């Protein structure tokens, strides 16, 4: 989709390049992460309001390090180089970059020594986050130093005549507290953006685009009930109405009453043509006696495709397109010093690997968006909060939260325990601060006393984490009274459980899910 106002981010392999895009979009300015070697000619055609050169792990003076098209600097478009991007700017324009006497990593204090539009409205002494081994030794002609730190005399440089800036630190990370303001200054003071990237406008534009792409053809969508597929379903339905057909596979491993909720919302309230495959017995039959987590995943994945494909064949005479909930992080083209250029599109777990007789063109209306933006679109489309704010849920469902054998009885125990975890945490006024919370059924039994009787029953572990993106996570410090009510309710209301534990491990080294 073409946007009249956007900022281009050239990716040089930094682990936090996506954060630059997040920070720019938070200012209601559209941006895209594109290849590091995108030509000046291509950029001139697409006419961004500004260009950002990201950080990266390589060393600019190395012969094989990723470089930009030098003609970028002659386009007259404002440029901001971040860390590696600043060094690349200096190197390309005739300055020099050398290894520093010591690697600088972590918080540093920086002093602004000259006026700059980047720092408008900010105090002269600022905390910033450094992460570099090399640094600019001599600036290119026409540049001046704007800020310095103890270890870095050129912490920021600028050429105001050419609107080119370089910062040695990372303004996109939270450890640079005023970084957001610096990026705001670049977008609005330097690039003169107006900030018109609104979700309501995105919805209107996307609906037009879907209608143009699909025409009078029909679309098939694998609906999982998660945020992405639910928002895709609502968006496609608004765009093409009865030309949309959704298939939902109930594998018998969903949360309590989840299938009924999906049928009520999408089938009845939205009036979508929803085909539900009640396949719990099939899945459980194939999983009988299987306790290895990878084996569980493979069985569930292949069985899912078989069931989905069978439903799809019944609709294939009128369907030409397959809807997918692909998000922006799945399609970003990136360069890494290890693997070289890569452009990977991750298949949605619901539909990856369809048989050859079911090949469709793809409709991916969310491929420009990050997860938080998808939630905004969902609200714009009128989806209820229990769908929009739904936590991530693994593709294999409760199978990877039941450690050991999967039986109908153990599924029911976990569904009931998980329901009580969710009900108690959702009573907290700040429950949206918790990234994910759920119960895990362990493959052990412990001695307990209920009434005057000795019991020997199952153990449930409770997992709650806080995270920004799921890549790293800390265990969430639930209030004791919430832990108390969760434990009491599970032990007293869920037959077969006599002990509740709380998981206090972080990711890494642990993962969020147990399997």
Segments making up each domain of the chain, as ranges: 6-190, 199-388, 401-502
Q: How confident is the model at residue 345 (pLDDT cuts 50, 70, 90)?
A: very low
229 is in an annotated binding site: yes
Summarised one tens digit per residue, pLDDT across range 282-322 is 999 999 999 998 999 999 999 999 999 998 888 877 899 99
DSSP one-letter code for 241: G
pLDDT at 271 over 90: no
For 359, counting Cβ atoms within 10 Å of its Cβ (0-12 exposed, 13-18 middle, 19+ buried), the class is: exposed
Identify whether 198 is a catalytic site residue. no
Identify the weakest region by mean pLDDT among 18-22, 389-393, 505-509.
Answer: 389-393
Residue whose entry in the numeric block shows the structure tokens 């026409």: 142
* Catalytically annotated residue among 3, 170, 237, 245: 170
**DSSP-derived 3-state class of residue 310:** helix
226 is in an annotated binding site: yes
pLDDT at 463 over 50: yes
Q: How confident is the model at residue 394 (pLDDT cuts 50, 70, 90)?
A: confident
Mean pLDDT of the chain: 89
Buried b (16+ CB within 10 A) or exposed e, 223-257: bbbbbbbbbbbbbbbbbbeebbbbbbbbbbbbbbe
106 is in an annotated binding site: no
Q: How confident is the model at residue 100 (pLDDT cuts 50, 70, 90)?
A: low
Buried b (16+ CB within 10 A) or exposed e, 90-104: bbbbebebeebeeeb
Identify whether 278 is a catalytic site residue. no
Across the range 133-159, mean pLDDT stands at: 91
8 A C-beta contact, residue 417 and residue 441: yes
460 is in an annotated binding site: no
Q: Of 170 and 100, which is predicted with more confidence?
A: 170
Across the range 353-378, mean pLDDT stands at: 86
8 A C-beta contact, residue 137 and residue 97: yes
Residue 271 to residues 120, 246, 290, Cα–Cα distance (Å): 52, 11, 39
User: What's the pLDDT at 326?
Assistant: 85
E strands present in 367-487 = 436-450, 453-466, 474-475
Same-fold call for 6-190 versus 199-388: yes
Identify whether 170 is a catalytic site residue. yes
Among 13-17, 129-133, 351-355, the range of highest mean pLDDT: 13-17
pLDDT at 452 over 60: yes
* Catalytically annotated residue among 31, 58, 68, 83: 83
What is the rounded CA–CA span in Å between residue 192 and residue 3?
A: 15
225 is in an annotated binding site: yes
Q: How confident is the model at residue 405 (pLDDT cuts 50, 70, 90)?
A: very high
Phi-psi region of 9 (alpha: psi -120 to 50; beta: other; left: phi over 0): beta
**What phi and psi values does residue 377 have, to the nearest 5 degrees?**
-60, -40
User: What's the pLDDT at 2?
Assistant: 63
Architecture of domain 6-190: 3-Layer(aba) Sandwich (3.40)
According to DSSP, the β-strands at 218-222 and 244-250 are: parallel
Across the range 231-238, mean pLDDT stands at: 95
231 is in an annotated binding site: no
User: What's the pLDDT at 503?
Assistant: 97
According to DSSP, the β-strands at 319-323 and 273-278 are: unpaired
**DSSP-derived 3-state class of residue 223:** coil
Identify the weakest region by mean pLDDT among 90-104, 316-330, 334-348.
Answer: 334-348
Q: Which CATH number fits domain 199-388: 3.40.50.720, 3.40.50.620, 2.130.10.10, 3.10.580.10?
A: 3.40.50.620
pLDDT at 1 over 60: no
DSSP one-letter code for 58: S
pLDDT at 164 over 80: yes
Identify the weakest region by mean pLDDT among 3-17, 20-34, 320-334, 444-458.
Answer: 320-334
pLDDT at 351 over 70: no
Under CATH, which number does the domain 401-502 receive? 3.30.300.10
- Kindly write down the DSSP assignment for every residue of 106-163, as one continuous string: EEEEEEE-S--GGGTT--SEEEEEEEEEEEEEEPPTT-EEEEEETTEEEEEEEETTTT
Total Cβ atoms within 10 A of residue 472: 12
487 is in an annotated binding site: no
* Catalytically annotated residue among 5, 104, 172, 424: 172
Across the range 158-183, mean pLDDT stands at: 94
What is the rounded CA–CA span in Å between residue 233 and residue 275?
A: 13
């Amino acid at each position: 989709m073409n946007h009249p106002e956007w900022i281009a981010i050239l990716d040089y392999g930094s682990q936090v390049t996506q954060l630059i895009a997040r920070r720019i979009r938070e200012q209601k300015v559209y941006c895209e992460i594109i290849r590091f070697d995108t030509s000046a000619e291509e950029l001139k055609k697409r006419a961004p309001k500004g260009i950002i050169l990201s950080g990266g792990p390589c060393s600019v003076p190395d012969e094989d390090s990723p470089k930009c098209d030098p003609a970028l600097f002659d386009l007259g478009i404002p440029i901001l180089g971040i860390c590696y991007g600043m060094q690349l700017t200096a190197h390309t324009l005739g300055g020099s970059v050398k290894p520093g006497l010591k690697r600088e990593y972590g918080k540093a204090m920086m002093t602004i020594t000259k006026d700059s539009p980047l720092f408008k409205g900010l105090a002269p002494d600022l905390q910033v986050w450094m992460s570099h081994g090399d640094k600019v030794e001599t600036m290119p002609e026409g540049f001046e130093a704007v800020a310095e730190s103890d270890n870095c005399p050129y912490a920021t440089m600028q050429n105001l005549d050419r609107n080119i800036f370089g910062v040695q630190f990372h303004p996109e990370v939270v450890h640079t507290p005023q970084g957001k303001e610096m990026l705001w200054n670049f977008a609005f003071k330097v690039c003169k953006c107006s900030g018109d990237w609104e979700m309501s406008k995105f919805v209107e534009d996307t609906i037009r685009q879907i209608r143009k792409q699909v025409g009078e053809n029909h679309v098939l969508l694998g609906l999982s009930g998660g945020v992405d597929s639910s928002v895709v379903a609502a968006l496609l339905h608004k765009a093409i109405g009865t030309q949309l057909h959704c298939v939902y596979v109930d594998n018998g491993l969903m949360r309590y009453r989840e299938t009924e909720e999906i049928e009520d919302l999408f089938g009845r309230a939205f009036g979508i043509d929803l085909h539900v495959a009640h396949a719990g017995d099939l899945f459980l039959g194939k999983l009988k006696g299987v306790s290895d987590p990878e084996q569980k995943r493979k069985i569930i994945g292949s069985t899912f495709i078989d069931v989905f494909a069978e439903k799809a064949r019944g609709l294939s005479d009128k369907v030409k397109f397959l809807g997918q909930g692909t998000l922006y992080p799945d399609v970003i083209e990136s360069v890494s010093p290890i693997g070289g250029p890569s452009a990977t599109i991750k298949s949605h777990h619901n539909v990856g690997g369809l048989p050859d007789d079911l090949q469709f063109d793809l409709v991916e209306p969310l491929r420009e968006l990050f997860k938080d933006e998808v939630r905004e679109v969902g609200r714009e489309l009128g989806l209820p909060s229990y769908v929009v704010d739904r936590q991530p849920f693994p593709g294999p469902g409760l199978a990877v939260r039941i450690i050991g054998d999967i039986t109908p009885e153990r599924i029911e125990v976990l569904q009931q325990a998980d329901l009580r975890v969710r009900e108690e945490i959702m009573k907290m006024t700040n429950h949206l601060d918790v990234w994910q919370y759920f119960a895990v059924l362990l493959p052990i039994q412990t001695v307990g006393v209920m009434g005057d009787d000795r019991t020997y029953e199952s153990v449930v572990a409770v997992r709650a984490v806080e995270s920004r993106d799921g890549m790293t996570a800390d265990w969430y410090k639930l209030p004791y009274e919430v832990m108390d009510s969760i434990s009491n309710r599970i032990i007293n209301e869920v037959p077969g459980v006599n002990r509740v534990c709380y998981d206090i491990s972080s990711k890494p080294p642990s993962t969020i899910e147990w399997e």
